[in-house]
Structure 1
Amino acid sequence: MTEPLHPDARAVRAFWQGLGLPGLYDVHVHFLPPNIQRAVWAVFDSAGPKIGRDWPIRYRESHEDRVEILRGFGLRRFSTLPYAHKPGVAGYLNEWSREFAAGVPEVIRSATFYPEPEAASYVADEIDSGVEIFKIHLQVGEFHLDDPLLDDVWGVLEDAGTPVVVHAGSGPVGNDFTGPGSMERLLARFPRLSLVVAHMGAPEWGEFLDLAERYEHVRLDTTMVFTEFFGAVYPPDLVPRLRDLEPKILLGSDFPTIPYPYVEQLDGLARLDQGDDWLRAVCWENGHRLLG
């Protein structure tokens, strides 16, 4: 392999090489259409009410350069996770994500949906065309998971077993649609759904941990949680439960919209002191088992 181009690469590679892994498997990476990406970054740059604090973005390179950065880091598979913020945009996001994935073999083919009458139809079409994972964002989209317009969508997804990354926790800033309530109600009706709780459900960690323990196909991603920037500290009394939930915890980073070097997330996982086998499962094996 040629020398990694990005200065952050050496520390990332040292982490997974020290564990004897073939690389990293990151289920929470974003690649968005350029116009949408600019709009998202503008929200973060403004430190506005949906963000609540200064959030300097570390990886602002072009799409092509960011792919090379991730390759240099040693990510063998990574998602693109588009998320629809209003009706009528999911189709555009999904088409762009499909075209992007066609040129990047490491991509976990990703798509999104929104509560709208045609959602069940296009979700089924996306699954048939090879989508491996979906993403939705309750804070941004301002909807509940048990919105009646999504009833048929959840039936399709439950039957297919396709995982959905759900930003349901109230971090960084909550609203009337965030929190564990609508996920609890949804799982009571669709208990076989494969859901990945983004950011481990922060800051409602305990409630989402309960759901992962209760429902066979509910998982948690580690995105940003164990970093100093995140601010809120993961409750120490919950950490022992993470060992028992080892098969259900997946590495996530939120690259590129993170305000610190990529390795900081990895170092935070190591500081949990759950052992190398746990780190190997979280950083590679669990994602590989779920998505191939």
Structure 2
Amino acid sequence: MSTEPPELDLARVPAFWQALGLSGLIDVHVHFLPPRMLRRVWAYFDNVGPLTGMAWPITYRWPDEDRVRHLESMGVRRFPALAYAHKPDMAADLNDWTLDFGATTPGCVPTATFYPEPSVLSYVDKALAAGARVFKVHIQVGGYDPREPVLDPVWGRLAEARIPAIVHCGSGPAPGAFTGPERFAEVLRRHPRLRAVIAHLGAPEYREFVDLAERYENVVLDTTMAFTDFFENTGQPFPPDLLPRLADLGLAGKVALGSDYPNIPYPYAHQIEALQRLDLGDDWLRAVCWANGAALIGVPI
């Protein structure tokens, strides 16, 4: 398979941020994984059609170095290496890999994850001491309740440290045993200062997660896959009546660009075009595509 980048990205993405007067883009939802785990994730997406009703071909099925180079060519200046554990005795090793990847990859923000297990606070503290600036948790894939008592001190530690956690807790593309807004809303009630970034705008429970972003000062929504033709055509479209509230949240620093690169079934440029066609204004796009992500991960605005 060719590793040549899609021409659409290089033609349109830099032109987009240059027209806004930005220095590039900050994408808070990018995945880099150990090779064996990445192969398994891609195999999952190869077979996910029955869950979503649509085939999910991976557009960027390339080696790490080619995917990093493509981000740089598009002008994505900062990005995490999001990984997530789905069973015990996995997260600590993942953190070693992602933190090393972040330390050796220009533009990559040091990233870590966790899972409900007795050692969780110990290795979270180790990751924080090593410089982790963002955590990723996937309630759907992990299959655990975010309210588990063993996680309570972890949420508290992240809240104290003001380190964001990017959380997939919405029920898309298919519901999990512990997905949906109710359980994570309880986490926020216990830890109201937690910097939680709700992946995919919380799809398909958009309304409930918009409510949480309005209620809690540090809750942010990421745009990952939202408004793309793929999402809009899989029965999980964003309700048009929520757009004015999303506009206000973006200007208030509470919506940030996310893409799910490389695990997307379309060119990266399509995510950018999907945000443009909302017609929420250039100030909103500047905030979402740069300033809000910069504030989350500590990049000078």
Q: TM-score, normalised by structure 1?
A: 0.96
Kept after mapping to 1: 8 A contact 2:227/2:237: yes
1:65-104 equivalence runs, <5 A: 65-104=66-105
Whether 2:195 is the aligned partner of 1:194: answer yes
Indicate the residue corresponding to 1:222 in structure 2.
Answer: 223
Find out whether 1:245 has 2:249 as its counterpart. yes
Inter-partner Cα distance in structure 1 for 2:52 and 2:78? 28
Of residues 248, 270, 281, the one that matches 1:275 is 281
Give unpaired runs (5+ residues) of structure 1. none
Q: Which residue does 1:126 correspond to in 2?
A: 127
% identical aligned pairs: 56
CA distance in 1, matches of 2:285, 2:293: 12
Partner of 1:172: 173
Corresponding residue number in structure 1 for 2:186: 185
1:258 aligns with 2:264: yes
| Alignment partners' CA distance in 1, 2:36 and 2:78 | 25
Structure 2 contact 225–271 (Cα < 8 Å) conserved: yes
1:50, CA displacement in angstroms? 5.7
Task: Write the distance in 1 (CA, Å) between the matches of 2:139 and 2:49.
Answer: 17
1:287 to 282, 293, 300: 293
1:81–1:135 contact (8 Å) kept in structure 2: yes
**Most deviating of 5-14 and 93-102:** 5-14
* Superposed displacement of residue 204, structure 1: 0.1
C-alpha RMSD of the superposition: 1.3
CA distance in 2, matches of 1:263, 1:95: 31
The worse-fitting range, judged by mean Cα deviation, of 64-73 and 45-54 is: 45-54
Letter in 2 for 1:88: D
Give unpaired runs (5+ residues) of structure 2: none
Work out whether residues 27 and 289 of structure 2, in 8 Å CA contact, stay in contact via their aligned partners in 1: yes
Query: Partners in 2 of 1:187 and 1:98 — Cα distance?
Result: 27
Matched-pair contact (CA < 8 Å) for 1:28–1:254: yes
Q: 2:117 touches 2:150 (CA, 8 Å); kept in 1? A: yes
Distance 2:5 2:220 in 1: 33
**3-state SS in 2 of match to 1:229:** helix
Q: Contact conserved, 1:52 with 1:172, CA < 8 A, in 2?
A: no
- Cα offset, 1:181, TM superposition: 1.1
Instruction: For residue 41 of structure 1, give the secondary structure of its aligned residue in structure 2.
Output: helix
Contact 2:194 2:218 in 1 (8 A): yes
Judge conservation of contact 1:52–1:173 (CA < 8 Å) in 2. no
Q: Identify the residue that residue 20 of structure 1 maps to in structure 2.
A: 21
Shift of 1:105: 2.2
Q: CA deviation at 1:238?
A: 0.2
Q: Are the aligned partners of 2:24 and 2:75 in contact in 1 as well (CA < 8 Å)?
A: yes
What amino acid is the match of 1:116?
Answer: E
| Residue 141 (1) aligns with residue 147 (2) | no
Aligned to 1:210: 211
Q: How many residues align?
A: 289
1:234 corresponding residue in structure 2: 238
- Post-superposition Cα deviations, 1:5-28, rounded to whole Å, max 9, x if no partner, equal 652212111111111110000000
Q: Measured at CA, do residues 278 and 119 of structure 1 come closer, stay the same or move farther in structure 2, by a change above 3 Å?
A: same
Instruction: Note the alpha carbon deviations across 1:165-210, whole angstroms, 9 max, x for none.
Output: 0000000001221100111111111111110000000000000000
Q: Which amino acid aligns with 1:222?
A: T
C-alpha separation between the residues in 1 aligned to 2:6 and 2:45? Answer: 23
The AA in structure 2 aligned to 1:236 is: P
> CA 1:239–1:233 in structure 2 vs 1: closer, same or farther (change >3 Å)?
same
Moved more, 101-110 or 272-281: 101-110
